[in-house]
């Protein structure tokens, strides 16, 4: 063990990614050993990419907020946020005009035979089964209802989960208060240029007022322009354009007084798609499309990732590390997993070659597997006759994705790899929604006659329908939380 | 769909691998499949696998075996870990125990606090924070309790047993469930013209046995996978230079220990595996560095007691078959590859092969996707275990023989270098893709072999130092007290699972760990 000195960490970017980093690192690292400050870019927040002022998240955000010590109820109340039970997709698949991917379980096993294997048996016998008919989250979402799930594993109300719909500006406020309370220092004057040391590391950030902020470790949360890891350190970019060719975005938001739906909606369009994320007093709207197939104007971007998210003494976060279309509500999730990974590998000194190598190995796996999940939806699209969609359907796909599809077609199984964000059931649900059917189901399902399986399915559906119908309307639930708060205050 | 189900499974070779496969496959009888095992009394089996690791309990549970009965019938004893003697340097010993070290605090690994306070002289030996290690050294054993609040829930165990008795035990199990054993020596393998799949094997005396799925458990030779299908073998001898073993059973000195011992010698290492009726001993060595005669003399000199049989030699080359599943043949055990039993993984690899085969079980169409996935998963697992074993050789300070100097200086796989470097920097360990060996296992061996982290994880500083210091101070005596209250290993065996007659013991072959 060598002597310990205090390291200075400088974060560039005052958006969601930068303030999430500030709040997380300042809360987790011992203040005796690290000093943390944040420098702004002087630009609007595009730290998660050019996809607009609202974000939908995965259920994993709850764990992150617990770790941060961020009160979720207060965040929803004061940040005008909404709850999310999943995502509805329209116009993507020829097998289902609209399908819903819920957060939570689908169906229930019969004597340890999994639900989707039972469904395989029913379908082989000529029956039709739609997975989302057997999910509390999907049913409640359709009814516009929401309440937090129960902990009691005996209740059907414990079988779902939820994410959040956040208005980014307000979310930043919550993260900033937390970070400042943990002692993070914010510089008022914006960033101009990075200074390098003799050996080529980042040495400091020069600000508009002439001051230079020195540091030992830098976090680049400056969005797709990646002004530290890209501009200053010239780390290369690995493009995913061959598989994910969308390269323009138009983001807007509008006010509304309609109670928000507890799900976001993503609709496929002739040359791309459109996403609507509802929160309490507005909706975020983003159009994503491919410039090769339309003359429409928009903010340019390129899907892909930084070759090394940790280069020298700089770690990239958010869109500075990777631009990932928000088709799967992963933008904020990726910031969180990167921060968790960074904390597991946080350097204790100025030498951190081994940590950087491991960080990059894990980051690369996570991003490439997520890339595969995104490609799947394009590859299996059902929009025949539209040039953009025909082109993405014909494109070659990465080998690990081809393997997943092939094994699912063969046996109904999806081999998970290190770095996979989504579970086997989520892969299976998406493949199923796009009409991919395994050639064989589990022979154990043959133990039941189709009538027995049908009766089981009917019973499951009836219990779930009843449970979902008993939940409050999402708008009422949000209003009740506000009233309760007022009464306490 | 069910009309494409496999109807005919043929297992070629008895021994541990063959009978484990037969016992597990027996449950497919309910789907109407016929299961045949071909075995020849003329061919001796190599009882690889006398020492095991904890996942074997899941295999036995899957079969529904009564654990006490199985231990009694295989002259078995319990195992809490492996002791490594003279590995990092002469005169040094360490334990690689099952079960965890200490308890994590605030999501920071226990050993990070240990590193911090050890450097200040305020912590005991790492082993003193692991109940399995402490109990092993005291010669104690009991099964874990389920209550997670009890320290006794951190116990974890496996077995030592006589592998030929284990095979016999599983044979009785499988035959009772409809597996048919046929006596006979395989003399020829018949391939289908159209796709090169195995159609049938021919036994001496012009007997032809047809099948749809063949499981090759024929040992090093790989009768089907290699001799018939020319699958190819990838050698790992540049990292694992030991290529021979000499096995010798001996009498025991005293009561059986609840752990395996591995002692590093001049040109390899010697195992000592305590059974109820005797002790298994054997020297795994490099023939380039040591003659067979010297190895045998050394094995006898280092045995636990008086020899009970002539020394028996085994030759091998570390490595793996290029495809463990090729066409309609799946290779299990030595037919699939060889990794020396330094971490007692031989039986585990058989078991893991069987469970992967169940997860990817084919029908008569033999979708190539299934074999590809099986091979990918198998390759990954073998490489992970290979790296873990190489670590023992590479990270050594010994320079008292050419063998150890060669090991110390050899280049090792990139994947292992990364792990060592990461640990050396900050004591961090990451488990990859369902890796068999846990963080605790890597920790025990990395530290045991003398790889010292330069620093501890800075997050360890977020937990109050006084709290940690007092936790550390209380924990070791607490664990020791718990271990002292456990029954002696030999008493536990006498009470629950003592071997019956013992008349059959003289017949059992000296077998490898």
- Strands, DSSP E only, in B211-267? 213-216, 233-235, 244-250, 260-265
Question: Beta strands A248-255 and A299-300: pairing type?
Answer: antiparallel
Which residues in chain B show pLDDT less than 50?
1, 48-49, 501-513
A119 part of a folded domain = yes
Contact state of A355 with B119 under an 8 Å Cβ cutoff: no
| Burial class, B310, CB count within 10 angstroms (exposed 0-12 / middle 13-18 / buried 19+) | exposed
β pairing state of B81-85 and B93-97: antiparallel
**Nearest chain B residue to A415, by CA:** B373
Q: Are B418 and A30 within 8 A, CB to CB? A: no
Based on the domain organization, do A327 and A340 belong to the same domain? yes
Contact A357 B421 (CB under 8 A): yes
Enclosing H/E stretch for B392: helix B368-394
Beta bridge partners of A272: A269, A289
Chain B environment of A348 (Cβ under 8 Å):
426, 455-458
Q: Cα separation of A268 and A378, whole Å?
A: 10
DSSP A113: B
pLDDT for res A365: 96
For residues B43 and B185, is the Cβ–Cβ distance under 8 A?
yes
Residue A489 and residue A467 in one domain? yes
Whether residue A206 is found in the same domain as residue A132: no
Conformation bin of residue B41: beta by default, left when phi > 0, alpha when psi is -120 to 50: alpha
Residue with tokens 């509500």: A329
The number of folded domains in chain A is 2
Q: Please give the C-alpha separations between residue B12 and each of B177, B181, B185, B330, in angstroms, as whole numbers.
A: 18, 10, 10, 10
Question: Which residues of chain B does A353 touch, with a Cβ-Cβ cutoff of 8 Å?
Answer: 421, 425
Give the H/E segment covering residue B17. Answer: helix B15-25
* pLDDT recorded at residue A1: 39
Question: A1, B119: Cβ pair inside 8 Å?
Answer: yes
Chain-centroid distance of CA B447 in Å reads 21
- Domain CATH for A232: 3.50.50.60
Q: How far is B59 from chain A (nearest CA, A)?
A: 19
CB contact under 8 A, B370 and A407: yes
Choose from B104, B377, B459 for mutation: most chain A CBs within 10 A: B459
Element (H, E) at A268: strand A264-269
Tell me if residue A309 falls in helix, strand or coil: coil
Q: DSSP per residue over B415-432, as a string?
A: HHHHHHHHHHHHS-----
Say if the Cβ atoms of A347 and B426 lie within 8 Å. yes
Q: Report the residue of chain B nearest A414, measured CA to CA.
A: B373
- Please identify which residue in the block is written with the tokens 């399902």: A445
Residue in B with minimal Cα distance to A355: B422
Q: How many CB atoms lie within 10 A of CB B441?
A: 21
Residue that terminates a domain, selected from A397, A432, A459: A397
Q: Are residues A181 and A155 in the same domain?
A: no
Same domain (yes/no): A92, A175: yes
Helix (H) or strand (E) holding B183, with range, is strand B180-183
Mutate to test the interface with A, among B425, B432, B457, B467 (most CBs of A within 10 A): B425
Please, what CATH class does the domain formed by B2-50+162-238+318-366 belong to?
A: alpha beta
Of the candidates B118, B135, B105, B83, the one whose C-alpha atom is nearest the C-alpha of residue B479 is B135
- Give CA–CA dist A202/A215, Å, rounded: 8
Nearest-Cα distance to chain A for B417, in Å, is 10
For residues B364 and B381, the answer to whether their CB atoms sit within 8 Å is no
Could you tell me if A131 and A225 lie in one domain?
A: no
Residues with pLDDT less than 50, chain A: 1-3
Nearest CA in chain A to B427: A345
**Cα–Cα distance measured from residue A162 to residue A147, given in angstroms and rounded to the nearest whole number:** 9
Q: At what angle do helices B15-25 and B346-359 cross, to 10 degrees?
A: 30
Q: In this structure, how many other beta carbons lie within 10 angstroms of the beta carbon of residue B196?
A: 14
Task: Please provide residue B467's backbone torsions phi and psi, each rounded to the nearest 5 degrees.
Answer: -60, -45
Measured in angstroms, the CA of B377 and the nearest CA of chain A are apart by 10
SS3 breakdown of chain B: % helix, strand, coil, rounded to 5? 40, 20, 40
The alpha-carbon gap from A175 to the nearest alpha carbon of chain B, in Å, equals: 21
CA distance linking residue B71 with residue B69, whole number of Å: 6
Cα distance from A413 to chain B (closest Cα, Å)?
9
Of A2, A30, A418, the CB nearest to B461: A30
Name the residue in chain A with its Cα closest to that of B118.
A1
Tokens 């025991």, located at residue: B252
Domain membership of residue A1 (yes or no) is no
Q: Is residue A484 part of a domain?
A: yes
Give domain limits for chain B: 2-50+162-238+318-366, 244-317
A95 shares its domain with A113: no
Which tokens sit at A440? Answer: 């064989």
DSSP per residue, B440-462: HHHHHHHHHTT---SS--GGGGG
Structure token digits, residue B273: 């595996």
> Residue A2: inside a domain, yes or no?
no
Residue A479: give the domain boundaries: 104-159+398-489
**Is A410 in contact with B370 (Cβ distance < 8 A)?**
yes
* Interchain pair A403, B418: CB under 8 A: no
Q: Are residues A143 and A177 in the same domain?
A: no
Comparing alpha-carbon positions, the chain A residue that sits nearest to B455 is A1
Best mutation target, A114, A125, A344, A400, to test chain B (most B CBs within 10 A): A344
- Burial code (b: 16+ CB inside 10 Å, e: under 16) for A337-367 equals bbbbbbbbbbbbbeebebbbbbbbbbbbbbb
Residue A104, φ and ψ in degrees, nearest 5: 135, -175
Choose the closest CB to B433 out of A355, A358, A418: A418
Indicate yes or no: CB of A348 within 8 angstroms of CB of B372: no
- Residues B127-175 pLDDT 10s: 999 999 999 999 999 999 999 999 999 999 999 999 999 999 999 999 9
Q: Which residues of B touch A417 (CB under 8 A)?
A: 433
Q: Select from A375, A397, A419 the last residue of a domain.
A: A397
- What SS3 class is residue A288? strand
CA distance A84 to A2: 48
Residue of A nearest to B372 (CA): A403
Task: Tell me which of A397, A419, A443 is where a domain ends.
Answer: A397
B228 token code pair: 């018939």
What pLDDT does B106 receive?
Answer: 85
* A98 and A108 fall within a common domain: no
The reply to whether B116 belongs to the active site is no
Provide CB contacts within 8 A for A4, sequence distance 6+.
A33, A348
Residue with tokens 């996809």: A51
**Distance (Å, whole) CA A108 – CA A112:** 9
| B299-B305-B307-B308 Cα dihedral, nearest 10 degrees | -140
Q: What pLDDT was estimated at residue B28?
A: 86
Neighbour-count burial of A255, counting CB atoms closer than 10 A to its CB (0-12 exposed, 13-18 middle, 19+ buried): exposed
CA distance B325 to chain A (A): 16
Which of B370, B455, B458 comes nearest A29 by C-beta?
B458
Q: Do B456 and A362 touch (CB under 8 A)?
A: no
Q: Do B461 and A358 touch (CB under 8 A)?
A: no
pLDDT tens, position by position, B385-403: 999 999 999 999 999 999 9
The number of C-beta contacts closer than 8 angstroms across A and B is 95
Residue among B79, B116, B323, B394 flagged as catalytic: B79
- Per-residue CA distances from B205 to B11, B13, B202, B208, B305 (Å): 19, 17, 9, 9, 45
């Amino acid at each position: 063990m060598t002597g310990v000195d205090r390291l200075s960490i400088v974060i560039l970017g005052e958006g969601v990614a930068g303030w999430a980093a500030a709040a997380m690192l300042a809360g987790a690292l011992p203040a005796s050993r690290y000093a943390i400050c944040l420098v702004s870019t002087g630009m609007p927040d595009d730290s998660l990419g050019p996809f607009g002022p609202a974000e939908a998240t995965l259920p994993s955000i709850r764990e992150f907020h617990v770790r941060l010590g961020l009160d979720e109820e207060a965040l929803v109340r004061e940040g005008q946020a909404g709850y999310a039970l999943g995502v509805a997709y329209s116009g993507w698949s020829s097998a289902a005009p609209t399908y819903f991917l819920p957060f939570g379980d689908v169906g229930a096993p019969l004597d340890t035979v999994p639900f989707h294997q039972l469904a395989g048996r029913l379908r082989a016998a000529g029956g039709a089964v739609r997975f989302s008919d057997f999910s509390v989250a999907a049913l409640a979402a359709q009814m516009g209802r929401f309440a937090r799930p129960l902990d009691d594993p005996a209740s059907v109300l414990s079988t779902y989960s939820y994410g959040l719909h956040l208005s980014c500006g307000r979310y930043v406020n919550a993260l900033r208060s937390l970070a400042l309370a943990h002692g993070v220092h914010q510089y008022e004057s914006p960033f101009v240029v990075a200074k390098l040391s003799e050996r080529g590391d980042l040495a400091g950030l020069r600000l508009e007022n002439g001051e230079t902020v020195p540091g030992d470790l830098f976090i680049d949360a400056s969005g797709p322009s990646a002004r530290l890891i890209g501009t200053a350190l010239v780390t290369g970019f690995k493009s995913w354009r061959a598989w994910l060719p969308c390269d323009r975005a138009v983001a807007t938001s509008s006010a509304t007084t309609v109670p928000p739906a507890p799900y976001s909606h993503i609709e496929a369009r002739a040359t791309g798609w459109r996403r609507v994320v509802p929160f309490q007093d507005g909706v975020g709207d983003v159009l994503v499309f491919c410039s090769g197939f339309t003359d429409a104007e928009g903010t340019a971007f390129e899907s892909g990732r930084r070759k090394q998210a940790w280069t020298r003494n700089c770690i990239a976060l958010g869109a500075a590390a990777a631009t990932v279309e928000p088709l799967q509500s992963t933008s904020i999730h990726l910031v969180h997993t990167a921060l968790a990974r960074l904390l597991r590998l946080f350097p204790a000194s100025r030498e951190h070659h081994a940590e950087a190598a491991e960080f990059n190995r894990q980051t690369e796996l996570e991003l490439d597997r997520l890339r595969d999940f995104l490609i799947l939806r394009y590859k299996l699209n059902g929009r025949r006759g539209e040039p953009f969609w025909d082109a993405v359907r014909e494109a070659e796909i990465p080998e690990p994705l081809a393997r997943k599809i092939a094994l699912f077609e063969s046996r109904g199984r999806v081999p998970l790899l290190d770095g996979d964000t989504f579970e086997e059931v989520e892969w299976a649900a998406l493949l199923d929604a796009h009409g991919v059917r395994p050639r064989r189901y589990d022979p154990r399902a043959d133990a039941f006659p189709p009538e027995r399986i049908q009766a089981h399915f009917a019973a499951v559906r009836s219990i779930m329908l009843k449970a979902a119908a008993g939940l409050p309307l999402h708008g009422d639930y949000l209003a009740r939380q506000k009233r309760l708060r007022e009464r306490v205050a | 769909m069910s009309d494409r189900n496999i109807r005919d499974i043929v297992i070629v070779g008895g021994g541990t691998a063959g009978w484990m496969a037969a016992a597990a496959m027996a449950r497919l009888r309910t789907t109407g499949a016929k299961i045949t095992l071909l075995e020849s009394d003329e061919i001796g089996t190599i009882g690889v696998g006398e020492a095991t690791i904890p996942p074997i309990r899941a295999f036995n549970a899957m079969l529904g075996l009564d654990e006490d009965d199985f231990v009694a019938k295989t002259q078995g004893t319990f195992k809490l870990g492996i002791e490594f003697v003279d590995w990092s340097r002469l005169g040094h010993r360490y334990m690689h125990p099952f079960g965890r070290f200490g308890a994590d605090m605030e999501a920071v690994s226990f050993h990070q606090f240990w590193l911090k306070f050890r450097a200040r002289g305020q912590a005991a030996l790492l082993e003193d924070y692991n109940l399995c290690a402490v109990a092993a050294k005291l010669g104690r054993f009991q099964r874990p309790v389920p209550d997670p609040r009890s320290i006794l829930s951190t116990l974890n165990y496996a077995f030592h047993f006589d592998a030929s008795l284990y095979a016999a035990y599983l044979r009785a199990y499988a035959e009772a469930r409809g597996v048919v054993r046929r006596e006979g020596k395989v003399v020829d393998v018949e391939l289908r013209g159209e796709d090169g799949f195995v159609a049938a094997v021919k036994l001496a005396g012009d007997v032809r046995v047809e099948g749809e799925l063949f499981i090759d458990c024929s040992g090093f030779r790989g009768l089907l996978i290699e001799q018939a299908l020319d699958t190819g073998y990838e050698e790992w001898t540049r990292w694992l230079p030991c290529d021979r073993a000499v096995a010798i059973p001996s009498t025991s000195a005293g009561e059986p220990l609840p752990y395996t011992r591995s002692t590093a010698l001049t040109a390899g290492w010697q195992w000592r595996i305590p059974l109820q009726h005797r002790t298994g001993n054997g020297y795994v060595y490099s023939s380039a560095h040591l003659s067979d005669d010297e190895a045998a003399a050394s094995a006898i000199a280092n045995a636990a007691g008086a020899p009970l049989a002539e020394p028996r030699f085994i030759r091998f080359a570390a490595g793996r078959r290029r495809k463990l599943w090729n066409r309609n043949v799946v290779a299990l055990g030595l037919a699939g590859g060889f990794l020396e039993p330094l971490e007692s993984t031989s039986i585990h690899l058989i078991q893991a092969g069987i469970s992967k085969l169940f997860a990817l079980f084919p029908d008569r169409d033999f979708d190539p996707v299934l074999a590809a996935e099986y091979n990918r998963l198998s390759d990954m697992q073998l490489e992970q275990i290979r790296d873990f074993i190489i670590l023992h050789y590479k990270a050594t300070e010994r320079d008292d023989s050419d063998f150890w100097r060669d090991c110390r200086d050899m280049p090792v796989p990139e994947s292992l270098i990364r792990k060592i470097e990461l640990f050396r920097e900050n004591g961090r360990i990451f488990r990859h893709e369902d890796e068999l060996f846990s963080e605790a296992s890597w920790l025990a061996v990395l530290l045991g072999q003398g790889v010292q982290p330069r620093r501890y994880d800075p997050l360890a500083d977020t937990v109050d130092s006084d709290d940690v210091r007092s936790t550390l101070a209380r924990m070791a005596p607490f664990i020791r007290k718990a271990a002292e209250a456990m029954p002696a290993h030999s008493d536990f065996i006498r009470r629950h699972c003592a071997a019956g007659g013992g008349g059959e013991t003289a017949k059992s072959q000296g077998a490898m760990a």
